[in-house]
Amino acid sequence: MIFKTLFLILICSKCVTSEVLTIGGIFYSDSEDLKAALVVSAKMYDFNVSMREVPRNGQILDLNGVVCELAEEGVIGIIDGTGGQSTEFIQALCDMLELPHVTIQHNDINDKNAFILNLHPSSAAYNMVMEKLVALKEWPNFTILYIKGYNIARISSLLKMNTHNDRYIVTVRELSGDDYRDALILARDSGYTNFVVDCPSANLELILKHAQEVGLMADEHSYIFVSTDLFTMDLERYRYGGVNMTGLNLRDLEHNDDLWYFTDMFNKESGLALESDQLKSKILLIHDAVLIFRKATEKMKKYFTKPVDLSCENFTSWNQGSSLLNFMKTNKVDGFTRSLLFDGYGDRNNVIFDILEVTPAGNQTIGNWINSDLKISREFLGSTEIVEETIMRNRTFKVLISTSPPYGYVKESTHQLEGNDRYEGFTIDLIEKLSQILGFNYEFETENDYGSWDNKTKKWNGMVLQLMEDKADFAICDFTITSIRQSAVDFSTPFMTLGIGILYKTPSKQPPAMFSFMAVFSKEVWYYMVLVQLCLGLIMIFVGRISHKEWQNLVPCIETPEELTNQFSFANSVWLIIGSVMQQGSEIAPIALAPRLITSVWWFFTMVIVASYVGTLVAFLTVEKDVLPFETVEELYKHKSISYGAKKIGSTKDFFEHATNPTLMSMYKKMIENNWLVENNDIGVAKTENDTYAFFMESTSLEYYKERHCDLLQIGNLLDSKSYGIGMKKGSPYKKYIDYGLLKLKESGEIEKLKNIWWKEKRGGGKCGIKQDEELKQLGLKNMLGAFVVLGAGSIIGLFISIIDMLWGVFKRSIKYNTTFKYELVEELKFALKFNGDIKPVKRPSRVQGSTETLADVEAKDEVKSLPSIRSGRSSDTHRTHHSHSSKHSSSGLSVAFARRRKFS
């Protein structure tokens, strides 16, 4: 009987362990790729899946419901694809249920006892590799670009680098909204060239696009991207600009058959058509999370029991949950993102990264991050090895050049020249420098047709054709690297970066406008000035009426006047303000402390305003400015009287021909219809000088002509970004040597020296000198904000003092006349807020009618020293004395006197 019982127990245990287990998943409703990855991974490792969707802006109750539902279904763990506060709330519930919680997003949950496993590399791992990369690049300064609201804990150590020593200068710029160009333009204008970019992978493409559009993708710019998804994108358009882009790769793509199988299944499940190297890191981490569950359950299969009766309401927990999580933390597993090792917090610190760079030849691995150590393995050829062992040494190559200034000229000489001596120019000197480094010889052959694809004949022509047919070895000139040319020939690393600019003749100077004195301040400042004066006038009236010292007796010979007068009427207040602004003063002089304080800060404010105005006024009245007929390509297109064009053959014309922007497409159509294209740059420049004509040309050529034609200038920003390179046959064995030579010339500054020689010195260079920008900026509100703040603060303080002064006067009056404080305060405010009349009674009418003797006694006690009103002064003293004496015991006469006083109360 005992054996039968044991046999049944064994059979039941096998049935339990062989039962298909379920993994839970919580994702946002729009995360279709992550849900497909979980379904595929579960099929690969024999799990069931139970998924729940939550809205991105959902409520906490939504998460509470889905976690509890999954727990009641008996899942062995939850894979969380949400992140942020949602992950923190899910974690709290999983802690209560003792249910393993695996997240693929970065988080900062550092509870050692938490039931969480974070497959995303930890902040510590990112900070270490970022510091090493910045130190390796030897950046003296760099700028951190991040998305507004994004957690930048992964690069927090970089923010501290400028505090350790003086080696680094670190700046930070926030990118917000859907257009990053304004922030990137400010970065460009500030001279920034080195950038660390930390952002979600969804924002990478927009950042790269806008950086290229504002000219931050040239050969002087360098980037480090924190995201591991940079190289899942198509970076073809950025390969030839010369920009240095470094990023991290988390996946292992070599000899990984499981990854190809997973990719195929994922494409079938999601309906996409991705390659393995295009899968986002989160998709691979979903697979690795399921793999960790599989490896852990296999180790626990002898005593593993499926969770049952878990309930959030009853606060029940899974007694094997902690054991399963410990196996997941300590079990060494190799997944698609390499070794999955965790610390006691469930964080992944020991991570392996590949360090990749974007090059004209594609994405290349230059090193690895292994065991907290950065190992660079870039192929490098030393100068000795290049000179002594290069296959180019002592060989003679045919080099195609173009006689396009300043890249190539036919040399001017009094006697006949032969061979290479016939030519001079920038590219002539450049190839000579390369030959000295690499030890080769060369022969020049001129070819002014750079090469284009003929759709009719389906053939190339010009330089491209000669390189393809081995009729020449290299082509060096203003040879633009384009994707279509790259399909036919190879290019070296760029030796010059440029874009398309607009050349136009300098407009004649325009005298200052009639009302140019108004342009010193922006409209905004003028509007606020008027508003402030009106508001301050009202404040002065109110403060003057509630300040008892401002109520004065104009006839000092009467010690106990019946009426007082106040100088702060609306007209007087405005006059005081205007007189201060005009620096003329005023006969109005404040007496009380509060009005004096407000007047003082107003005088300070006007001093700043007037000084700023006068200091800038002279320039606005004297400087003559250039008035440009257009400033952007859109304004040029709308201008009816200005024609425009480009060279008939070249990349500039091709740019307009293949443009997708409606404005550029329309401009190209008009160029063709009106025959505005020209044969070469010289004709275009001459036409620009003599006609109303704008010429589109590459910025390097534009700079060259500006140095020699002082009446020409560049208008607007560059329309695109591209580079010049040395062309050679596809698959040329000489490419890596030419690249090395150009890199060496760049590092030594030789290329920049050659450019200065041929642009600014030889062949008429430097003729125009440096043009000074005479246009001054308006003083905006931000320039004058400090003065407004001082004025506002002083007015508030003065108003506060005046209120205290009024309350003290009300308190003394209530004691003096034996009335309540509330009654006197209400009467005072009622009088002050009427804002009419400049006469104020000395005493309030009594609330209780009394005898005339009582009222007379109270009046006799009035010790307020004030002047009688002008109106009271109109009656003679004799008449008043006689009248008062004769009516002393007359109740009707006394009532009339009090009535006269009450009409102003």
Mean pLDDT by 10 residues, the chain (905 residues): 43 53 93 95 95 84 87 94 87 91 81 78 92 88 90 87 71 91 89 91 92 84 93 83 86 80 93 91 95 92 83 88 90 90 86 86 82 74 41 85 89 85 92 90 90 86 91 91 88 88 78 61 82 82 80 75 75 75 71 81 82 71 65 87 88 86 91 90 89 90 86 86 90 87 86 89 72 52 64 83 86 86 85 74 54 44 40 39 38 42 41
Within this chain, do residues 716 and 731 fall inside the same structural domain, yes or no? no
CA atoms of 400 and 472, how far apart (whole Å)? 7
Q: What are the residues facing 48 on neighbouring strands?
A: 22
477 within 8 A of 450, measured Cβ to Cβ: yes
Q: What is the pLDDT of residue 180?
A: 93
User: Which of 704, 720, 736 finishes a domain?
Assistant: 720
Is the residue at 674 inside a domain? yes
Residue 871 annotated as lining a ligand binding site: no
- Amino acid at site 222: S
CATH code of the domain containing 679: 3.40.190.10
Within this chain, do residues 75 and 212 fall inside the same structural domain, yes or no? no
355 within 8 A of 227, measured Cβ to Cβ: no
Q: What is the pLDDT of residue 48?
A: 95
Is the residue at 553 inside a domain? yes
CATH code of the domain containing 358: 3.40.50.2300
Residue 688 annotated as lining a ligand binding site: no
Within this chain, do residues 305 and 401 fall inside the same structural domain, yes or no? no
Is the residue at 449 inside a domain? yes
Is the residue at 131 inside a domain? no
Is the residue at 4 inside a domain? no
Q: What is the pLDDT of residue 144?
A: 94
Terminal CA-CA length for the chain? 113
162: three-class secondary structure by DSSP = helix
Is the residue at 715 inside a domain? yes
Range of the domain at 95: 20-121+270-340
651 within 8 A of 480, measured Cβ to Cβ: yes
Is the residue at 105 inside a domain? yes
Within this chain, do residues 470 and 407 fall inside the same structural domain, yes or no? yes
Contacts 24+ apart (CB under 8 A), 598-604: 598/536, 598/539, 598/540, 598/543, 598/794, 598/795, 598/798, 598/799, 599/540, 600/794, 601/790, 601/791, 601/793, 601/794, 601/795, 601/798, 602/536, 602/577, 602/791, 602/794, 604/787, 604/790, 604/791, 604/794
* Helix, strand, coil percentages for the chain (3-state, nearest 5): 45, 15, 35
Within this chain, do residues 41 and 62 fall inside the same structural domain, yes or no? yes
Within this chain, do residues 390 and 478 fall inside the same structural domain, yes or no? yes
Within this chain, do residues 210 and 357 fall inside the same structural domain, yes or no? yes
Residue 651 annotated as lining a ligand binding site: yes
Within this chain, do residues 424 and 441 fall inside the same structural domain, yes or no? yes
- Overall domain count for the chain: 5
Nearest CA-CA partner of 347 in 116, 79, 189: 116
pTM of the model: 0.51
